[in-house]
Amino acid sequence: MEKPEKPHPGEARHAAVPLAECTLARAVSVIGDAWVLLILREAVYGVGRFEEMRDDLGIPRAVLSDRLRRLVEAGLLARVAYREPGRRTHHAYELTARGRALLPALAALREWAEEHLPGGPSPLKLRHHCGAQIHARLVCDHGHVVGPEEIETVVERSDGATG
Amino acid sequence: MEKPEKPHPGEARHAAVPLAECTLARAVSVIGDAWVLLILREAVYGVGRFEEMRDDLGIPRAVLSDRLRRLVEAGLLARVAYREPGRRTHHAYELTARGRALLPALAALREWAEEHLPGGPSPLKLRHHCGAQIHARLVCDHGHVVGPEEIETVVERSDGATG
DNA sequence: CTTCCAAAGTTCATCCTACGAACTCAGGCT
DNA sequence: AGCCTGAGTTCGTAGGATGAACTTTGGAAG
């Protein structure tokens, strides 16, 4: 393995991790759906009511119902009952800790779109409690922010070699 | 703004940003598809050839063909010709800078699945050139790593109020 | 030069899911 | 009791996914 740097285009840099062992594939099985991501967007906004999500997204009722059920089953959303005085009991879908833990991924997607897709910036910002703006970044164990070009993927094989 | 902290469940924290202006929605229009994310996984691995992707993912040819075309049109992948000695010309799909810029989002999804979904850790790691491991994190403008709980979403309205 | 082969698609019939409209159901108000 | 509204379910239809079979292309082998 003298020069693994520039393999032929199309030549894999290392053996593929089978889908069953791939964490990204597991994530995709939950969030690999356009509506799911948009529903999570609503939940991040604090929009938790069925009809309100429907109004915002224009999603068919049956699909929204199905996705909400899946997201509750997967533990990303919780269906909570509440009641405003003088109104009937309602249910709302709220992010659980597991769902909220997706914020870094959603933030990274937002930033990617803002920088790399046509269209203006979003009026929505993520803000820390201290007032500072938040960004999704890759950081190395030494605490440095690194760019996507400075990174390589390695498979840690059981025999200790690094592929 | 005395106590915006705990609105009723289901009461939106601020007006929804219309989908047309939402950067996440724009991202979703490109990557809001399970196969697309898995294809990008392959590309990150360096797997760029049609049949190899097909073998890894078990994706139908027609779908793979369609998604690759879209990803090339969207500028995330480039179709490059190459040739190994003694073999015919081939084409491979390689990440462009725009595609590679999705690494933070993909890394964040991986880490989320690793921490919050059942199943073991992935053998795949992201490594900096210096050898240190890479993580996707939210950082504030002051350089601190912050958790998802410490964050709120704000809409910067044109009149300067912060919703 | 002809034949053979493999990679990378395309085409096709079938199936599943998304879609939008209409319908249902329940709780609380009047 | 009757009505209203939010939150679904049901339904027929249309569009996209699927897997198998077919086509194309460029080079290698004979």
Mutating which of A21, A24, A127 best tests the B interface, going by the most B Cβ atoms within 10 A? A24
The verdict on residue B133 lying in a domain is yes
CA-closest candidate to residue A123, choices B20, B28, B102 = B20
Query: Which stretch of A58-67, A98-107, B12-21 has the lowest confidence by average pLDDT?
Result: B12-21
**Nearest residue of A to residue B158, measured between CA atoms:** A123
pLDDT score of A8: 67
Is the pLDDT at A3 greater than 80? The verdict is no
Q: How far is it, in rounded angstroms, from Cα A75 to Cα A30?
A: 10
Q: What is the mean pLDDT of chain A?
A: 90
Range of the domain at A94: 19-150
- Look at residue B12 and tell me if it is in a domain: no
Helix or strand (DSSP H, E) at A113: helix A103-116
Residues with CB under 7 A from strand D: A 49-52, 61-62, 65, 68, 90-92; B 10, 33, 35, 58-63, 66, 83, 86-89
CA dihedral A41, B30, A148, A106 (to 10 degrees): 10
Neighbours of A65 (CB within 10 A): 13
- Going by the DSSP 8-state scheme, the letter that residue A137 receives in this structure is E
- Tell whether B54 is within 8 A of chain A (Cβ): no
Indicate whether A159 belongs to any domain.
no
Q: 């027609």: which residue's tokens? A: B62
User: Does residue B10 lie in a domain region?
Assistant: no
In a domain, A143, yes or no: yes
Q: Strand (E) positions, B25-109?
A: 77-82, 90-95
User: For residue A5, what pLDDT is reported?
Assistant: 44
Q: pLDDT at position A84, please?
A: 74
Q: Per residue of chain B (163 residues), what is the pLDDT tens digit?
A: 433 445 666 677 777 789 999 999 999 999 999 999 999 999 999 999 999 999 999 999 999 999 999 999 999 999 999 887 778 888 999 999 999 999 999 999 999 999 999 998 999 999 999 999 999 999 999 999 999 999 999 988 765 444 4
Give dist(CA A162, CA B35) in Å, integer. 28
Residue B45 forms contact with A (CB below 8 Å): yes
Spacing of A8 CA from D26 C1' in Å:
19
Whether B2 is covered by a domain: the verdict is no
β-pairing verdict for B90-95 and A77-83: unpaired
Q: Does A86 touch chain B (CB under 8 A)?
A: no
> What is the pTM for the complete model shown?
0.93
By percentage, how much of chain A surpasses pLDDT 90?
Answer: 75
Dihedrals phi, psi of A117, to nearest 5 degrees: -120, 150
CB contact under 8 A, B48 and A10: yes
Residue A2 has pLDDT above 50, yes or no: no
- Chain A window 117-156: residues with CB closer than 7 Å to nucleic chain C are none
B24 touches chain A (CB under 8 A): yes
User: What backbone torsions phi and psi does residue A92 show, to the nearest 5 degrees?
Assistant: -135, 150
Q: Give chain A's domain count.
A: 1
Looking up residue A124, the CATH number of its domain turns out to be 1.10.10.10
pLDDT of residue B8: 65
Contact (CB, 8 A) for A127 and A118: no
- Residue B156: inside a domain, yes or no? no
How many Å separate Cα A83 from the centre of its chain? 30
Whether the pLDDT of residue A82 is over 60: the answer is: yes
Asked whether residue B57 is assigned to any structural domain, the reply reads yes
A98 has a chain B CB within 8 A of its CB: yes
Q: Which nucleotide is nearest to A93 (CA to C1')?
A: D7
Cα separation, A132 vs A113, whole angstroms: 21
- Which of 114-133 (A) contact B at CB < 8 A? 114-117, 119-130, 132-133
